């Protein structure tokens, strides 16, 4: 085998194989294009409630942060969220009002959360969650109680075709 042939064949052997990405297997460093903006995945949260598992990905574009939620129920369910300021008391109420819309609680529970990337300090920490849906069945509120703090995010459901995913180096 000639020198050039060996040189090029070694490069092929050492190149890392990149897995095809979709909303359920995103990795830190992947790029998600949504609504004409490119976001980098900087954090990945894995939630477990019993045997049920879902994911939250922190997406960053400049100073703009969004959270992509992905879960496989009977079908793939996706949501895009942004944190908002809304005062919520414990226990989580049956309904919430925000900007003239009423949101009804659909689900509440407790999960263990494992974090990667910017959230790597989470090592199966407990979180209480509540999911709310507006009458339009597209707009959602998500509540997460971390210790004494309740974080509220406003989101909407989306379809997989609304995202373009470019794998990072893994």
CA distance 67 to 56: 6
Beta-sheet strands, E only, within the chain: 31-34, 37-49, 52-61, 64-72, 76-84, 95-98, 101-117, 123-134, 139-146, 149-158, 163-166
Say which residues have a Cβ less than 8 Å from residue 133's Cβ, sequence separation at least 6.
Answer: 103, 104, 106, 139, 140
CA distance 93 to 74: 27
pLDDT tens digits along 48-99? 999 999 999 999 999 999 999 999 989 999 999 999 999 999 999 999 999 9
Cβ-contact 93, 103 below 8 angstroms: no
Q: Which residue has the tokens 């407990």?
A: 126
What does the domain layout of the chain look like in residue ranges?
Answer: 17-166
Q: Tell me what pLDDT residue 170 has.
A: 60
pLDDT tens digits along 99-146? 999 999 999 999 999 999 999 999 999 999 999 999 988 899 999 999
CA distance 146 to 72: 24
């Amino acid at each position: 085998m000639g020198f050039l042939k060996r040189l090029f064949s070694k490069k092929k052997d050492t190149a890392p194989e990149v897995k095809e990405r979709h909303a359920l297997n995103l990795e830190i460093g992947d790029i998600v294009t949504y609504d004409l903006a490119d976001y980098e995945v900087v954090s990945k949260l894995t939630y477990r409630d019993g045997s049920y598992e879902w994911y939250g990905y922190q997406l960053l574009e400049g100073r703009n942060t969004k959270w992509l939620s992905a879960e496989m129920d009977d079908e793939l369910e996706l949501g895009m969220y942004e944190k908002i300021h809304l005062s919520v008391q414990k226990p989580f109420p049956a309904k919430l009002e925000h900007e003239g819309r009423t949101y009804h609680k659909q689900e509440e529970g407790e999960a263990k959360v494992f974090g990667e990337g910017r959230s790597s300090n989470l090592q199966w920490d407990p979180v209480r969650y509540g999911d709310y849906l507006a009458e339009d069945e597209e707009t959602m509120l998500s509540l997460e109680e971390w210790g004494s703090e309740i974080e509220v995010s406003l989101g909407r459901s989306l379809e997989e075709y609304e995202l373009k995913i470019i794998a990072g180096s893994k």
